[in-house]
Amino acid sequence: MSRTSLDLWVGIFVAIGIAALLFLSMKVGNLSAGSFSRSYSVEAEFDNIGGLKVRAPVKSAGVVVGRVSSINFDTQTYRAVVVLAMNEAFEFPKDTIATILTSGLLGEQYVGLEAGGDAAMLADGDRIRITQSAVVLEKLIGQFLFNKAAE
């Protein structure tokens, strides 16, 4: 094998390695090519969002149907306003229920949607009225210990 062909193979191997690292970093950062599809925005208000973060998935029946695009605080109602960027391919009824769930026991948090039965569908700028806040593990443990101490 000559020196030039060896250099060529090393270059190809390095290029494949860089491409693999770029692919993995995009997957870890939830920046896959499919996330740039057309979407519409829907808002949901929660009393407590726990550890929900921007770019967290929005799932329905285990399928990713959108992403959390922003999280704000409403100073009038003192609630968290979560804006969901929903994939245009998925439509949900207006009486859909949004819940903040956790993947596994200590995994990442995401927004879970349960479709309702309304004939009218959510549109860009609509608000999901029925929400359920995140279950905070520390609060549950504290309540359990307080109840055990009271017995």
pLDDT at res. 112: 94
Report d(CA 101, CA 5) in Å as an integer. 54
pLDDT at res. 142: 83
pLDDT at res. 33: 46
Beta-ladder partners of 111 = 58, 100
Strands 97-102 and 130-132: parallel
C-alpha distances (whole Å) from 140 to each of 2, 40, 128, 148 are 67, 35, 26, 12
pTM for this structure? 0.70
Report d(CA 62, CA 85) in Å as an integer. 17
Mean pLDDT by 10 residues, the chain (151 residues): 86 94 79 64 93 92 93 94 94 94 82 91 92 80 77 69
Single-letter code of the amino acid located at 67: R
* Residue 8: both structure tokens together: 């060529």
